[in-house]
Amino acid sequence: MRILIIEDDKVAAEYVRKGLSEAGHIVDHAPDGDTGLNMALDGQYDVLIVDRMLPKRDGLQVIEALRAENSRAPVLILSALGEIDQRVEGLRAGGDDYLTKPYAFDELLARVEALVRRRNPGAVQTRLQVGDLEMDLLARTVKRAGEEINLQPREFRLLEFLMKHAGQVVTRTMLLEKVWDYHFDPQTNVIDVHVSRLRGKIDKPYDRPMLHTVRGAGYRLQA
């Protein structure tokens, strides 16, 4: 999923961004209401996470402006303002859900996924399978031939991207942008190191290799 966080608190925004990125989503951040509104109107986001108290334009004004432009992007309001009348006000302004601070990140993630499911049934995948390799995106588990494989968070994210593009050649540029959030080549062997570690866990203990290097192009995962 592609998600936009509109939040002026840098620490809070980075906490949410990091968690959502580790869950495999592409996340952008806007630090104020005006910037957030422009980004939301210009970008194709699956869901928006909007704080209420924002500089330049408050969260409810952002949502109202989006709805006035016929934007149907699901909006989760994330706010310290949690009284009943404040929550009702947020929902009536066009918000689809309301979560008060402080909150548990697992609940935030579940609400985001539920919003997208309601808007686009079937759009959120919770399980991936390529041959005898299985990944549960909710439980964050990986199994091959029924045996559980322990992966580090970056290895999990790398494998998830490869499984979602099973049978296709995945380039280094694609991996840098989608798995590492780099929009430049750091000129290091970070990808090679992680691919080698991943291959050691999902291939070496088994008879048939699944993760293949395509010389001069990238990598391909296939059964």
pLDDT band of 25, cuts 50, 70, 90? confident
As a whole number of angstroms, the distance between CA 14 and CA 27 comes to 10
* Annotated domain spans of the chain: 2-119, 127-221
143-147, 209-213, 214-218: segment of lowest average pLDDT: 214-218
The CATH superfamily of 2-119 is Response regulator (3.40.50.2300)
pLDDT in tens, 149-189: 999 999 999 999 999 888 888 888 888 888 887 777 777 78
Give pLDDT, residue 124: 57
Give pLDDT, residue 181: 79
Give pLDDT, residue 176: 87
pLDDT band of 122, cuts 50, 70, 90? low
Judge whether residue 123 has pLDDT over 60: no
Judge whether residue 30 has pLDDT over 90: yes
Contact 116, 90 (CB under 8 A): no
Judge whether residue 219 has pLDDT over 60: yes
pLDDT band of 101, cuts 50, 70, 90? confident
As a whole number of angstroms, the distance between CA 54 and CA 195 comes to 41
Judge whether residue 22 has pLDDT over 80: no
pLDDT in tens, 46-64: 899 999 999 999 999 999 9
pLDDT in tens, 65-100: 999 998 888 999 998 888 888 999 999 999 999 999
As a whole number of angstroms, the distance between CA 90 and CA 100 comes to 11
Helix 59-68 to helix 84-92 angle (10° resolution) is: 30
Most confident of 30-39, 119-128, 159-168, 172-181: 30-39
Residue 106 buriedness (CB in 10 A; 0-12 / 13-18 / 19+): exposed
As a whole number of angstroms, the distance between CA 150 and CA 124 comes to 23
Q: Which CATH architecture has domain 127-221?
A: Orthogonal Bundle (1.10)
